[in-house]
Structure 1
Amino acid sequence: MPVPVAPRRWPLLGHTPAMLARRAGFTDALYEHGDVVRLDLGPLRAYFVTDPALTHEVLVTQGAKFRKGAMFDKFQPYLGTGLLLSNGEHHLRQRRMMQPAFHRDRMDAYATTMVRAATAMAESWQPGEVRTIENDMQELAVTIVGEALFSTEMGQRAVAEVRRSIFTVIQQGMVRALSPSFVEKLPLPGNREFDAAIARMKAVVLQVIESWRADGTDHGDVLSMLLLAQDGGIGMSDQQTYDEVLTLLTAGIETTAIALAWALYEVGRNPEIERRLHEEVDALGGPATFADLPRLPYAAQIVQETLRHYPIWFVMRRTLVPVDLGPVTLPAGAEVIVSPHALHHDPRSYPAPARFDPSRWTPSFTADLPRGAFVPFGGGNRQCLGNTFAQTEIVLTLATVAARWRLVPTRPARVKFTSAPYPDGLLMKAVPRN
C-alpha cells in the first residue's frame, strides 16, 4: 500500500528544512500520519517507523535483513570496522569476542572505579560554587571509561590523551557525518583539529596495545579482555583492537555524560524526586557499592526515566532484501529511520510523555510496555554491549553525589539539540547536605 508522506516537504530539499527547524518536535509528531511515514532528506528517500511493534521488527525479529544505514557510512573512515559500524558475520564475531569484557563478574571492579572517580569529583566541589554540570560529567565519564579500558601505567598516558582529544573527535565527527563528503577535505580549522586528534589518539592507543602484547598479562581492564579474546582460535589484530577501543570511547563517554547531567538536573529541580533519592541513599549508611544496586531501586527509576526523556534523536538502517513492515513492503536498499526520541515521547505508550516522572517505572508498567517502545540502547544483536556498564555508572554517580550534595539549578536548562538533546550551560549550585 502507498506510504503516507510527512507534511512540510519542500521542493528539492524535501523534509530536511522542517527537521532542522523543529528537530524532535517534527519527528515526535509523525505517528499521527501512520506507522511508517516517508521522509525525503534532500534526494534521499527514507522511511520513518513510528510504531513500537514495527520498530521491534526492524531491530530484532527482522534485524538480519538490515545493515547500518546512510548516516553510519560517514563515520567509517575514522571509526573503522568497530562494533558500532560493522555488519554481518564480522559484526557477530566481534560481538562474541567483546561480550566477556562486559560480563557481570567484571562489573564489580568497574563499579569500584566508578565510585572512586565520582567521589573524587564530589570532594573537589566547594560549598556554594556554581558548576557547569555537563562539563563535570564529561570529565567524569572520560575518567571512568578511560580507566576501565586502560589500567596500566602506560594506559594512563592513553587516558590523558583521551581527555585531551575525544570531544574534538566526537563533535567534529558529527559535523562530518552531517556534511557533504567534500567538506572534510577543505582546510578548515575543525578538519585540522579532528585529523590531529585522531592521529594523537591512534598513536598512543597503538603504543598501549604494543606494550600489552609484550607483557601479555590480564590486568582486569577492557583492553586485556579484547586482546585475550579469541573466536575459533583467532584473536583481534592491533588495528581491529584500536577500532573497538575508539568505538567504546566515542559511544561510552558522550551519551553517558549527557544522561548523567540531565539526571542531576531533574533531581535538583524536583523536590519530591530529590527527597526520595536522598532517603534511599541515606539508608545505605555508607558509600554506594556495586553490591548496593538492589537497594537503590528509585535511583534506577530515575535512570530509566532519564534514558526515556533524553535519548538520541534517531538511527538509520538499510534493507538488504525486500522487507514487509506491517502493510508496507520496502525494497532492498531502502533507508529506514528509527527514533528513540519519538518512541519515548509517544503518548500511546507513555501517558504525559513531556513530564519527567521516575515513578512511572513500576514493574506492572514495564511489563505492559509494548516491545520496541523503550530502546535507549537499541535492540537485538546490535543492542549496546555497554548498557549495563552505563546504567551502573549513572546509578552509582547519582548515589555518590546525593550523599554529599544538593545541586540546585541557577537557571532553567538550555538545550542544544543535535544528535540528542544536549544540555547547554547547565549551571547548578553545590549545596552541602551536612
Structure 2
Amino acid sequence: MHVPMAPGRLPLLGHTLRMLRQRYRFTAVLRKSGDIVRVDLGTMRTYFLTNPQLVHEMLVKKGGSFRKGALFDKFQPVFGNGLATSNGTFHRRQRRMVRPAFHTERIALYARAMSRAAADLTATWRPGQVRVLEEDTQALAVTIVGEALFSTGIGERAVEEVRRSIFTVLKQGMVRALSPSFVEKLPLRGNREFDAAVGRLRSIVLDVVRGWREEGVDRGDLLSTLLLAQDSDTGAGMSDEQVHDEVMTLLVGGIETTALALAWTFHELARHPEVEKRVHAEVDEVLGGRAPTFADTGNLVYLNRVVDEVLRMYPVWFLMRRTLAPVELGGVTLPEGAEVIFSPHALHHDPASFEQPHRFDPDRWSPERAASIPPGAFIPFGAGSRGCVGNLFARTEIVITAATIASRWRLVPVAGEPVRVRFTSAAYPSRMLMTAVPRS
C-alpha cells in the first residue's frame, strides 16, 4: 500500500461519513500505510499526513504555501470571511487587527469574569444533585465568551441568542461540512435548523455592532477592541460585515473547545483519584480559599499539566489544508489545489510520540518528559500563522474555571452510566452524568 517517498493509496468509496466515524481503525490503518497516504473520499482525492514532523512543516515552515481546505469552505455561511476561513493578505491583515483583543492585559480582565461565571454556576448546585456536566460546561462557556464579547444591554440579548443557536450551528454545520454539496440544498430538518440559527445569530450580532457604532464607547470588551482596531498600514478599520465575521469566528471557536475540555477534565479527575487529590491540594495551596486570578494560572503547575493531557486526549478529529502551488513534503510533490488532511486526534495518540498514548498521564507534561515530544505531535490549537489567535484566552478559561470548581466541589460519575466519545467536529461525550459533592 505504501511506496517509499510517494503517497500510499487508500480508497474510501460509498458511505464516507459513516466509515470516517470509525476513527480509531481508520487512522491506525493510515499510520501503518506511510507518512503521506492518498485517500479518495468519493470523488475527492486527498492526501493524509500521519507524520507529526510533516504536519509541523506544513503548518509552520511552509504555511504560506497552503490555505484552508474544503472543510472550511463549507463553513463559509457561518464564518463569512473571518480568521477561520480567510486567506492570504486579507487573513494576515485581520489577524493583526484581532490580536490586540487577546493581549495578556485583556486576558487578565477577562479572567475575573471567568472565575465569577464559574462560581455563579456552581452556586446553583446542590449536594448530591446529578448534573449533565457537558450541558453545564457548554452553558458556562457561552456565558464567558458572551460576556467577554458583549457588555452592553443589547449584548445580553445577543448572549441569549448564542445560547439558543450556537450548538445547532456547531452540530449541523459539521454534518453539512462532511456531506456532498447537494445535501445542503435539500429540504431537510437539519438544514432548516442550521439556516435559521445562522440567520438569527447574524441579525443579532449586526444589531450589536451597529448599536456600538452609534455609542462609540470603548467598554473594554472584545467587540470594542475589534471595532476600534485599525490596519497598521492603511489606518482603516473593519466594516460591520468584517466585525460580524470575526465575532462569529470567536463564538464558534471559543465555546466548543473550552466547554468540552472542561467537561473531560472532571471526567478524568473522577477516573483518577490520585490525580484529583493532587489537583485539590495544589488549588488549596495556591488559592487559599479565594477566587483565582490570571496571575494564579502560572502557579497552578499540575492543573496545567492535567489540562494539557485533556487537550491531548480529546482534540478535534481532523482538519484540512489546500495547496496554493505544488509543494514538496517528505519527498512527495503535492500538486496545486491538493486537499491535505491531518488528524490532531491521531497525532495525539501516536505511540511513536507518546508512550502509552491512551493512558491519562498528566506527568508526561513535566519539562523533562515534554521535551522529547516532537514538533507537530501536540497541536490542540493548531500551529503557525493559522494557529488559534485566542489560544491564551481558551487555556486561561479552562484553568480558571477548573480551579474555581475544584476548590469547592468534587464530581462523581453516576454508576451504570458509562461515558463514550462521540465525534462531530470535536470529541463530545455521549452523556456525562455526574453527582455534585461539596468538598469539606
The alignment's TM-score, normalised by the length of structure 2, stands at 0.95
Runs of 4+ in 1 over 4 A off after TM superposition: 14-17
Deviation at 1:94, TM superposition (A): 0.3
Write the distance in 2 (CA, Å) between the matches of 1:129 and 1:18: 39
Residues 92 and 151 (structure 1), Cα distance of their counterparts in 2 relative to 1, 3 Å cut: same
| Equivalent residue letter for 2:419 | A
| Equivalent residue letter for 2:340 | V
Deviation at 1:170, TM superposition (A): 1.3
1:293 and 2:297 matched: yes
Please name the residue that 2:260 is paired with.
Answer: 258
Deviation at 1:418, TM superposition (A): 2.2
Residues 66 and 34 (structure 1), Cα distance of their counterparts in 2 relative to 1, 3 Å cut: same
C-alpha distance after superposition, 1:379-434 (max 9, x if no partner): 11100011111111111111111111110111331221223221011011101112
Please name the residue that 1:365 is paired with.
Answer: 369
Please name the residue that 1:228 is paired with.
Answer: 228
Residues 102 and 405 (structure 1), Cα distance of their counterparts in 2 relative to 1, 3 Å cut: same
1:389 and 2:383 matched: no
Residue identity over aligned pairs, in percent, reads 61
Write the distance in 1 (CA, Å) between the matches of 2:212 and 2:20: 46
Deviation at 1:281, TM superposition (A): 0.8
Write the distance in 2 (CA, Å) between the matches of 1:78 and 1:364: 42
Write the distance in 2 (CA, Å) between the matches of 1:205 and 1:5: 45
Deviation at 1:334, TM superposition (A): 0.8
Q: Give the aligned length.
A: 430
Please name the residue that 1:342 is paired with.
Answer: 346
Question: Equivalences for 1:89-104 in 2 at 5 Å?
Answer: 89-104=89-104
Write the distance in 1 (CA, Å) between the matches of 2:28 and 2:211: 49
| Equivalent residue letter for 1:159 | V
1:325 and 2:329 matched: yes
Residues 217 and 24 (structure 1), Cα distance of their counterparts in 2 relative to 1, 3 Å cut: farther
Please name the residue that 1:426 is paired with.
Answer: 432
Question: Equivalences for 1:14-29 in 2 at 5 Å?
Answer: 18-20=19-21, 22-29=22-29
1:5, 1:38 within 8 Å by CA — same for their partners in 2?
Answer: yes
1:66, 1:318 within 8 Å by CA — same for their partners in 2?
Answer: yes
Long gaps (5+) in structure 1: none
Please name the residue that 1:247 is paired with.
Answer: 249
Write the distance in 2 (CA, Å) between the matches of 1:415 and 1:366: 26
Deviation at 1:53, TM superposition (A): 1.1
Question: Equivalences for 1:17-416 in 2 at 5 Å?
Answer: 18-20=19-21, 22-231=22-231, 232-283=234-285, 284-285=287-288, 286-410=290-414, 411-416=417-422
1:137, 1:257 within 8 Å by CA — same for their partners in 2?
Answer: yes
2:171, 2:425 within 8 Å by CA — same for their partners in 1?
Answer: no
C-alpha distance after superposition, 1:23-76 (max 9, x if no partner): 233114422221111111111111111111111111010010011111111111
Other structure's SS at 1:209 match: helix
Deviation at 1:14, TM superposition (A): 8.8
Deviation at 1:88, TM superposition (A): 0.4
Considering only aligned residues, what root-mean-square deviation do their CA atoms show, in Å?
1.4
Long gaps (5+) in structure 2: none
Write the distance in 1 (CA, Å) between the matches of 2:205 and 2:15: 42
Deviation at 1:290, TM superposition (A): 1.3
Write the distance in 2 (CA, Å) between the matches of 1:163 and 1:15: 31
Write the distance in 1 (CA, Å) between the matches of 2:70 and 2:88: 16
Other structure's SS at 1:333 match: coil
| Equivalent residue letter for 2:168 | T
Residues 24 and 248 (structure 1), Cα distance of their counterparts in 2 relative to 1, 3 Å cut: farther
C-alpha distance after superposition, 1:302-323 (max 9, x if no partner): 1100010000011001111111
C-alpha distance after superposition, 1:252-296 (max 9, x if no partner): 111211111101110112100100000001112022111211220
| Equivalent residue letter for 1:290 | F
The alignment's TM-score, normalised by the length of structure 1, stands at 0.96
Write the distance in 2 (CA, Å) between the matches of 1:272 and 1:160: 39
| Equivalent residue letter for 2:8 | P
C-alpha distance after superposition, 1:216-262 (max 9, x if no partner): 11111000000000102111000110011011101111121111110
Write the distance in 1 (CA, Å) between the matches of 2:29 and 2:401: 34
Other structure's SS at 1:368 match: coil
Write the distance in 1 (CA, Å) between the matches of 2:25 and 2:437: 35
| Equivalent residue letter for 1:275 | K
Write the distance in 1 (CA, Å) between the matches of 2:15 and 2:400: 45
C-alpha distance after superposition, 1:135-173 (max 9, x if no partner): 000000000000000011221111111111111111111
